[in-house]
Amino acid sequence: MSKGVCRAGAGHGAAAAVRLLVTLSFLPSVVEAQVTGVLDDCLCDIDSIDNFNTYKIFPKIKKLQERDYFRYYKVNLKRPCPFWTEDGHCSIKDCHVEPCPESKIPVGIKAGHSNKYLKMANNTKELEDCEQANKLGAINSTLSNQSKEAFIDWARYDDSRDHFCELDDERSPAAQYVDLLLNPERYTGYKGTSAWRVWNSIYEENCFKPRSVYRPLNPLAPSRGEDDGESFYTWLEGLCLEKRVFYKLISGLHASINLHLCANYLLEETWGKPSWGPNIKEFKRRFDPVETKGEGPRRLKNLYFLYLIELRALSKVAPYFERSVVDLYTGNVEEDADTKALLLNIFQDTKSFPMHFDEKSMFAGDKKGAKSLKEEFRLHFKNISRIMDCVGCDKCRLWGKLQTQGLGTALKILFSEKEIQKLPENSPSKGFQLTRQEIVALLNAFGRLSTSITELQNFKVLLQHSR
């Protein structure tokens, strides 16, 4: 559709101006018209996702993110970039992340470790036994000796081969707790060469793309005339499903992050008091079909595709949390019970969604080839998680690491179905486990996607009012 839109050129006079005004008046409906219909590589339509997210998911996931268990995230923002020499951290004040004082962290989280989500034992001897198990976390006093031994085995289990992300070492002195509610994701002013290099490295070196194929709007691409990225999408459609999915996940994550920046933009600052809100001009620059030569709507469709992937992961991991042995422990017994009840309620909603993505269609070829492709898929994504340590803005790095880890955890879940099905009810499992860091990242990352879709609806309304 972008090819048919008239543009006013110099010297065209009043007629060109009229055509431009007519074009601008239709931009809101163009955005809306192009981000609709059934998504590629699945059988779900965008309107169904919008309604499901608006009425079932968003109000609950927003409430969950405000609970103590999910608002405190431990992260190392000082890890050096492993791929290139950094230009130095951003000096813009809005890039700064305020770590949480030790006194503010709930006792159950502060006393715990990476796998800490079970109740604190009242018995001192049991607590000592747990500390010997690599300080895994406390054990419910009702567990048998056999279960306690299983916890110790579990602590020794190295599941790095299942990880799609490079996890921060929470025991590192550089790792700090961050209150996500006090450090919201929004536009910080971080841009330019440093930011571009991060995303360029992700797309050019990790998305299974040969260097001879150029992404749409890539400033390094040679002049392609009126190509508008069609050659790129011809190449993309020729890939196997798994590699197409990989690209769509990264593009969807990029779109989601850009939506957050557009929706929480520094509009003005008076007497040191900033005013944050939606920036329609910035939204158009990043997503309008005319300004992006049709690329914007494709990016937004990939956002919906990513939402489906993480939604599917939540529905699949529900049995893990439905077990009585799992308790999202902070030390506040009443709130912990309410938090788990709310989480299980969200899981029930995710399972009720009728048009889930079918992950079984992936890696379904011959066993040897499928295994090799899955490992390549995993390593490429793990590499992207490492690139997040190259982001120069601390706040952007924080949210980039969290959302990448959340997606990596979702992928880990989707490809661990057999292990999840074999989970014992009253004891831990060696075959599948999630750290607290992964749990917090998973739900907050999905919460960000839910927020993005809500923000997109808001921008559609704003665009209609601005006509």
Total domains, the chain: 1
Count other Cβ atoms within 10 Å, centred on residue 138: 24
Instruction: Give a yes or no: residue 16 inside a domain.
Output: no
Does a structural domain hold residue 66?
Answer: yes
In a domain, 78, yes or no: yes
Structure tokens at 305: 């595709």
Is the four-CA dihedral 241, 418, 156, 321 of positive or negative sign?
A: positive
Domain that holds residue 61: 29-111+161-212+240-466
**Do the domain assignments include residue 397?**
yes
Residue 255 in tokens:
């779109």
- Which candidate in 90, 100, 262, 393 is catalytic? 393
Question: Is 414 part of any domain?
Answer: yes
Mean pLDDT of successive 10-residue segments in the chain (467 residues)?
Answer: 39 47 46 79 92 97 97 94 77 84 89 54 37 35 46 44 79 90 92 90 92 82 65 91 95 97 90 88 94 93 96 96 91 95 98 92 87 93 95 95 97 92 80 91 98 96 85
Tell me the pTM.
Answer: 0.84
Residue 375 domain flag? yes
Whether residue 396 lies in the annotated active site: yes
Exposure string of 41-75, with b = 16+ CB inside 10 Å and e = fewer, is ebebebeebbebbeebbbebbeebbebbbbbbbbb
Angle at 257 between CA 252 and CA 263, to 5 degrees: 120
As a whole number of angstroms, the distance between CA 60 and CA 55 comes to 9
Whether 6 is catalytic is no
Residue 419 is assigned to a structural domain of this protein: yes
The annotation places the binding site for FAD at 186, 188, 199, 251, 254, 286
Asked if residue 68 is part of any domain, the answer here is yes
For residues 227 and 269, give the distance between their C-alpha atoms in angstroms, rounded to a whole number. 41
Q: What is the DSSP string of 247-306?
A: HHHHHHHHHHHHHHHHHSEEEEEETTEEEEE--HHHHHHHH-TTTTTTHHHHHHHHHHHH
pLDDT at 223: 62
